[in-house]
Structure 1
Amino acid sequence: MRQRPRDDSRGILDPARLLREVRFRRHLPAEPLRQWVEHYWLIDWALSAPFEQRVVPHPAVNVVFQRDDSGGDGRVPEVGEVAGVGLDLFRITLTGTGRVCGVQFRPGGFRPFWRRSIAELTGRRLPLPAGRLRRPDLDVCAGTDDDRHRALDAALTAWAPEPDPAAEEAIALAEAIRTDRTVLRVDEFAARHDLPVRRLQRLFIEYVGVGPKWVIRRYRLQEAVEQAAGGPLNWADLAVDLGYSDQAHLVRDFTAVAGVSPAAYARSVR
């Protein structure tokens, strides 16, 4: 079981600018929740000018609580939403003063909480349903990091996630794709895990919200984005490493998901 949250910037476009403009940090949930939850992410800001952040979404569901403190009286109600797997580049513009508390679930990890197909959330952002998924007594974004951490633990625990062996399988398979960059083809991955391709596809649609091919490509593109921010690259070699037939194909996919070409993105962050 992990003892600290991930410290990579995968999926965040221009992470250095994000850290200059806002206070961003990650925390692990209480240990019983770590089988389903990747981490909590907290952002606080006090901006003199609007700031736009862009993110290449992970194949994961997020639950997000936000409070706008610009009025200064502390009486603006907290809002919550469920964000399914984002298919396109996510953009948000922050203004004034505010706080966000987010839960990034592991791919497949939200199914025991939602108890329905995760595919119904894909590409959508929905208000957090009242009742079991929204405790009115918890102000998640209030107080210190420890206060917010405890409130998120309490909220998720109250949702009473149901044990689900298929969710455990989906989580393990998605983690294998994330951590093993040699995973490039669905048929080879299915054979490696002794699974029929059709069953693998159905499992991912139901529990992750997108198919395994999409997950493979998204993780490999996030690697390309992260490497582009780190320094000069041989894009032809990287295309081969990430399973692309040629550099032009990688450039097209990168541009489609990041909104700019690899060269333009690399120049912008340097």
Structure 2
Amino acid sequence: MNPRTQAIEDTERSGVLTPSNLRRFEAEWVQPSGAACDVVGSYWAVRWQFPGDEAVAQRIVDFPAITLSIEDGDVPAPFMVTTVRPDAWSRVIRGRGTVFALRLKPAGLHVLSDLEPTSLTVEQALTCELDPRAFEAMRAIAAGHSIAERASRADRIIAEMIRERPIGTTHALANAAVDALTSSARVRSGRAVADRLGISERTLQRALRSTIGLGPNDVARRIRLQEVVRLLSTPGADTASIAAELGYVDQAHLINEFRAVAGTTPGRYLRDLRRSLEGVSTTDGGA
């Protein structure tokens, strides 16, 4: 494996609501390099091939970021732009296909696109009519024949686009805010993050809303829920302990936030998760 790549494991904070599904795909993170690191949090790639009419329902509590993706096979469109939705991302995956995606940092949309975050729907085809700048960049990246080649192309193309359209103070500030929120999933207010960065809470709000369309409390809430998903997937998971560990007011607070996004309670989710793991074990044992 390329030293820049790392398999997406079912024990990490990926937000995948059925972690055992990751065993059905070839899924990996690819780290950007050079100037692209200021624009892209991570590249990620997924490949799958299912026989016949087999399908996998994939649901993810997604990271609070805008994503540009190159998709091939049984997919909605060749290029997609996705932003954070109020509930979990959901797609039924069939046949064969590949995805190579750029999970943008807050500065990314400004550099790679002429779109405004508030103008985006949760998921839509990225066409030349929608945004010529981002479309041409993704088309050039898609010319790579492998994940490694696409990552290298993306690094080079993004570096050129940064020279054309440099990262401003607001974008750099928004990047720093998301980095600070990602570093710990415990409950933290926008005020606490603003104090850490030495700015006003209002300045922080403006920076994040103008770059990813979310405020700091929304970003923190989504990262925290990704960590809830990860902790619920660990042996002996207990909702009350997780609520205390992550700084929720109480267990009911965690349950309400989780249900609002995942559409189920943590208790029911745990029961469904255990059943899915038992199914995987049975399948593996009969292989």
Q: TM-score, normalised by structure 2?
A: 0.80
2:232: which partner in 1? Answer: 228
Cα deviation, residue 59, structure 1: 0.8
Aligned residues: 262
Q: Secondary structure at the match of 2:180?
A: helix
For 1:107 and 1:259, how far apart are their aligned partners in 2?
A: 27
Q: Map residues 9-158 of structure 1 onto 2, 5 A cutoff.
A: 9-18=13-22, 20-48=23-51, 49-68=54-73, 79-115=78-114, 117-121=116-120, 123-129=122-128, 131-135=132-136, 138=140, 140=142, 143-157=145-159
Residue 62 of structure 1 contacts residue 84 of structure 1 at CA under 8 Å; is this kept in 2?
Answer: yes
Cα deviation, residue 40, structure 1: 1.1
Residue 181 of structure 2 contacts residue 220 of structure 2 at CA under 8 Å; is this kept in 1?
Answer: yes
For 2:90 and 2:67, how far apart are their aligned partners in 1?
A: 15
Residues 222-231 or 105-114, more deviating: 105-114
Residue 50 of structure 1 contacts residue 94 of structure 1 at CA under 8 Å; is this kept in 2?
Answer: yes
Cα deviation, residue 254, structure 1: 0.8
Q: Secondary structure at the match of 1:29?
A: coil
Which is helix-richer, 1 or 2?
2
Residues 258-267 or 203-212, more deviating: 258-267
Cα deviation, residue 189, structure 1: 2.7
2:191: which partner in 1? Answer: 187
For 1:89 and 1:149, how far apart are their aligned partners in 2?
A: 27
Cα deviation, residue 157, structure 1: 4.3
Q: Say if 1:4 and 1:79 are closer, same or farther in 2 by CA, change over 3 A.
A: closer
Task: Give unpaired runs (5+ residues) of structure 2.
Answer: 275-287
Residue 5 of structure 1 contacts residue 39 of structure 1 at CA under 8 Å; is this kept in 2?
Answer: no
Task: Give unpaired runs (5+ residues) of structure 1.
Answer: 71-76
2:279: which partner in 1? Answer: none
Given the alignment, which residue of 228, 245, 251 partners 1:247? Answer: 251
For 2:61 and 2:223, how far apart are their aligned partners in 1?
A: 10
Q: Specify the code of the residue in structure 1 equivalent to 2:70.
A: F
Q: Deviation per CA, 1:173-196, whole angstroms, max 9, x where unpaired?
A: 111011123452222332333322
Residues 28-37 or 187-196, more deviating: 187-196
Q: Deviation per CA, 1:176-217, whole angstroms, max 9, x where unpaired?
A: 011123452222332333322222211111112101110111
Q: Secondary structure at the match of 1:260?
A: coil
Q: Specify the code of the residue in structure 2 equivalent to 1:50.
A: A
For 1:204 and 1:139, how far apart are their aligned partners in 2?
A: 27
Cα deviation, residue 46, structure 1: 0.8
For 1:4 and 1:23, how far apart are their aligned partners in 2?
A: 12
Q: Specify the code of the residue in structure 1 equivalent to 2:108.
A: G
For 2:141 and 2:105, how far apart are their aligned partners in 1?
A: 24
For 2:121 and 2:210, how far apart are their aligned partners in 1?
A: 11
Residue 65 of structure 1 contacts residue 102 of structure 1 at CA under 8 Å; is this kept in 2?
Answer: yes
Q: Deviation per CA, 1:236-270, whole angstroms, max 9, x where unpaired?
A: 23223333222112111112212222122223333
Q: Root-mean-square deviation (CA), in Å?
A: 2.8
Cα deviation, residue 126, structure 1: 4.2
For 1:150 and 1:230, how far apart are their aligned partners in 2?
A: 35
Q: Percent identity?
A: 27
Residue 251 of structure 1 contacts residue 261 of structure 1 at CA under 8 Å; is this kept in 2?
Answer: yes
Q: Specify the code of the residue in structure 1 equivalent to 2:65.
A: A
Q: Secondary structure at the match of 1:243?
A: coil
For 2:262 and 2:97, how far apart are their aligned partners in 1?
A: 26
For 1:173 and 1:5, how far apart are their aligned partners in 2?
A: 25
For 2:154 and 2:109, how far apart are their aligned partners in 1?
A: 14
Residue 45 of structure 2 contacts residue 100 of structure 2 at CA under 8 Å; is this kept in 1?
Answer: yes
Cα deviation, residue 229, structure 1: 0.6
Q: Specify the code of the residue in structure 1 equivalent to 2:149.
A: D
